[in-house]
Amino acid sequence: MSIEIEILNGDASWPLVKPLYDAIWPPEVVAGLPWAGITFAHADLRVLVQDESGEVLCHAGIYRRLVKWNGQNVNIAGIGGVLTRADRRNRGLATVGLNAAIQTLRHEDSINYAVLFCAPDRIPFYTARGFLPFDGDVYAEQPERGRVRFDTLSALVHDVKRTAPTRGTIDLCGLPW
Ligand SMILES: CC(C)(COP(=O)(O)OP(=O)(O)OC[C@H]1O[C@@H](n2cnc3c(N)ncnc32)[C@H](O)[C@@H]1OP(=O)(O)O)[C@@H](O)C(=O)NCCC(=O)NCCS
């Protein structure tokens, strides 16, 4: 199987990716997940791993954000919505997608580090791919609730231009991803 990797505008490529989200996270599945009811940001860019016919096999969203770390403004990027079609898992596609996301951020030049959120059982998957657990506190915004502590999912960080902090307080200054 030959694969193609594309980095596309987040909103414009959403129709290509929506079927993958709908298949993996339909509303009835999301309702039983820890992050049910949380409002998430929309990706600015998307890494798509496609087969030769253009079918989307794997996705990773990229979210550019000016956050505050211990009160200081820092340009970072979120990575989220890492999904591989159920029948194409365990072939390295998410690894390819994550590497492409980190490479994209390195080329942007203004991104200091990346932040990703995942369920605790996924932590080993990401730490095996260069992410480190973030042991500090994370705050995010939610509609009608304002700024809230975001501890539903575990935070991980990845170096990009600078060494990512693993402690302290990150205020996402917006919706989580
Ligand atoms: C988590 C998820 C994205 C992983 O996608 P994937 O494409 O199967 O991931 P990879 O193939 O890169 O890696 C998965 C496993 O495949 C195996 N693998 C990786 N590359 C391989 C290759 N080239 N050949 C054979 N097996 C390989 C490894 O065992 C790897 O696990 P490990 O290294 O952590 O032990 C996928 O399971 C998924 O979509 N899950 C549902 C949604 C979800 O939970 N997303 C995460 C949100 S945080």
Tell me the CA–centroid distance for residue 91 and ligand 1, in Å.
7
143 within a domain of the structure (yes/no): yes
The torsion angle over the Cα atoms of residues 166, 109, 44 and 29, rounded to 10 degrees, is -30
What's 91's domain CATH number?
A: 3.40.630.30
pLDDT given at position 138: 98
pLDDT greater than 80 at residue 39: yes
Let me know if residue 176 belongs to a domain: no
Which domain, by its residues, includes 15? Answer: 3-171
In a domain, 93, yes or no: yes
Does 125 contact ligand 1 (Cβ within 6 A)? yes
Cβ–ligand 1 distance for 24 under 6 Å, the answer yes
Could you tell me if residue 65 is inside a domain?
A: yes
Cβ proximity of 84 and 93 under 8 Å: yes
Mean pLDDT of 136-162: 97
CA distances for 19 relative to 55, 84, 85, 117, angstroms: 10, 12, 10, 22
Q: Yes or no: say if 117 and 82 are a contact pair by the CB < 8 Å rule.
A: no
Position 15 in a domain? yes
Q: How confident is the model at residue 108 (pLDDT cuts 50, 70, 90)?
A: very high
Total number of domains in the chain? 1
Classify residue 130: in a domain, yes or no: yes
Query: Which residue's CA is the closest to the ligand 1 atom numbered 46?
Result: 82
177 occurs within a structural domain = no
Residue 1: pLDDT over 90: no
Determine the atom of ligand 1 nearest the C-alpha atom of 98. Answer: 12
Residue 46 in this model has a pLDDT that exceeds 90: yes
Average pLDDT, the chain: 97
Instruction: Confirm whether 128 is domain-assigned.
Output: yes
